[in-house]
A and B are shown apart, each in its own frame.
Chain A
Amino acid sequence: MKNFIMIIMLFLSQTAIANENSVQTLLDQYHSEGATRFDANKGKTMWHEQHFQEKLGKQVSCATCHTRNIRKTGEHVRTGKLIEAMAASVNPERFQDTKKIEKWFKRNCKWTWGRECSPQEKGDFLTFFQSQ
């Protein structure tokens, strides 16, 4: 068990490998939860999908805070907090930790769409981020 953790830690120290690992782990998990083939284009379409945000009283999409171009730095629509790019090529640090990815999916899907995202949707989003 200890050796296993050590090996995992070694992998984590290498960003590129870690990213592939974390993202692949999640994609595998989503498959096991019933998702089929993941599609970056679907992810992109959902990125721009407009939903009514009740607390804000207006239509929002992922792009509202993360920008339409996921290679660019975003800005939170209400607080003005700068949000680093979502594209894996620009900001690989984002995809190192499966727990962190899941945490933000849960928060932001609920805030933006008013519900949690399905395993299929999360997989499509991740594939979209990895493709850019």
Chain B
Amino acid sequence: MKQKGLWGTLLFFGCITLSMATLAWSDGWGWGEHEEQEGKGFLRQTAGVAPVMNKAYENECAACHFAYPAGFLPERSWIKIMGTLDDHFGENAELDAQTITEIETYLRGHAADQIPNRFSRSIVRSIGSQDVPLRITDTPYFRRKHREMPSRMIKGNPKVRSFSNCLSCHTGASRGSFDEHSVNIPGYGRWDD
């Protein structure tokens, strides 16, 4: 009888241990997978977004402005932007049909709601499901992240002028790094919270 009780206790604790281990293991696996994805996402060293890797996008779009990462706007935004290039924020930025298709395919495939990236997920979460923001600076996530910035450092700063000029302050922006530690505001220096 005594012997039976001992085996029963062992079996009981054995079951508990095993189930705990399974839980821990599955949880660990989940995190591991998550980190691995972000690590593979070109950004092992900094929290960032995939840098631009499309020649047509670089040639055509970055000829006039910073090549904004595709992962900063959802797919529906890129579709609208690429469909209205004849009035591109007040400028005419028309392209031939072939180039439009190439750039649009790239942007849509790397859009915020299409890639597993921390920034992209935050941006997507911050905008309404029906909203189609055309400017990254219009997304609530962007606004929240920049709300402490005094106007004199941006609009009033001749070397910055607008939030649209990412590279003026985010020194690693071309590499896809928007880490706060790499911020350097012209005329003001590093920005520490």
On A, residues with C-beta under 8 Å from B are 55-56, 78-81, 99, 103, 106-108, 110-111
A107 touches B93 (CB 8 A): yes
In the complex, the answer to whether B64 meets A107 with C-beta atoms within 8 Å is: no
Nearest chain-A residue to B59 (Cβ)?
A100
Distance A110 CA – B94 CA, assembled complex (angstroms):
10
Is B92 an interface residue, CB under 8 A from the partner?
yes
- Number of B residues, CB within 8 Å of A: 12
Q: Are A111 and B91 in contact (CB under 8 A)?
A: yes
What residues of A have a CB within 8 angstroms of the CB of B161 in the complex?
80
Q: A80-B161, A81-B64 are in contact. Are A55 and B95 (CB under 8 A)?
A: no
In Å, the complex CA distance between A111 and B92 comes to 6
A80–B164 Cα gap in the complex (Å)?
12
The answer to whether A107 touches B90, judged by C-beta atoms less than 8 angstroms apart, is no
B86 on the A face (CB < 8 A): yes
A106 surroundings in chain B (CB, below 8 A): 92, 94
Give residues of chain B (55-95) contacting chain A, Cβ–Cβ below 8 Å.
64-65, 86-87, 90-95
Residues of B within 8 A of A107 (CB): 91-94
Chain A residues near B86 (CB-CB < 8 A): 110
CA–CA, A110 and B85, complex, Å: 12
Q: A80-B161, A81-B64 are in contact. Are A110 and B92 (CB under 8 A)?
A: yes
Proximity bits, B9-52, A CB within 8 Å = 1, else 0: 00000000000000000000000000000000000000000000
Please measure, in the bound complex, the distance between the C-alpha atom of A78 and the C-alpha atom of B65, giving whole angstroms.
Answer: 13
Once the chains bind, are A78 and B93 in contact (CB under 8 Å)?
Answer: no
Q: How far is the CA of A78 from the CA of B162 in the complex (A)?
A: 12
The minimal Cβ–Cβ distance linking A124 to chain B, given in whole angstroms, is 21
- Give complex CA distance A30, B80 in Å: 34
* Shortest beta-carbon distance from B139 to chain A in Å: 21
27 contacts between A and B (CB under 8 A): A55-B87, A55-B90, A56-B90, A78-B90, A78-B91, A79-B64, A79-B65, A79-B91, A80-B161, A81-B64, A81-B65, A99-B96, A103-B94, A103-B95, A103-B96, A106-B92, A106-B94, A107-B91, A107-B92, A107-B93, A107-B94, A108-B92, A110-B86, A110-B92, A110-B94, A111-B91, A111-B92
CA of A99 to CA of B95, assembled, Å: 10
Bound Cα distance A110, B86 (Å): 9
Which 5 pairs between the two chains have the least Cβ-Cβ distance? A107-B92, A111-B92, A55-B90, A110-B92, A107-B94
Question: With a CB–CB cut-off of 8 A, which chain B residues contact A78?
Answer: 90-91
Instruction: Tell me the bound Cα distance from A2 to B87 in angstroms.
Output: 39
Known contacts A81-B65, A106-B94, A107-B93, then 12 further A-B pairs from the complex at CB < 8 Å, ordered by chain A residue: A55-B90, A56-B90, A78-B90, A78-B91, A79-B65, A80-B161, A81-B64, A99-B96, A103-B94, A106-B92, A107-B94, A110-B94
Q: Chain A residues near B90: list those with CB within 8 A.
A: 55-56, 78
Closest to B86 in A: A110
Chain B residues contacting A56 (CB-CB under 8 Å) are: 90
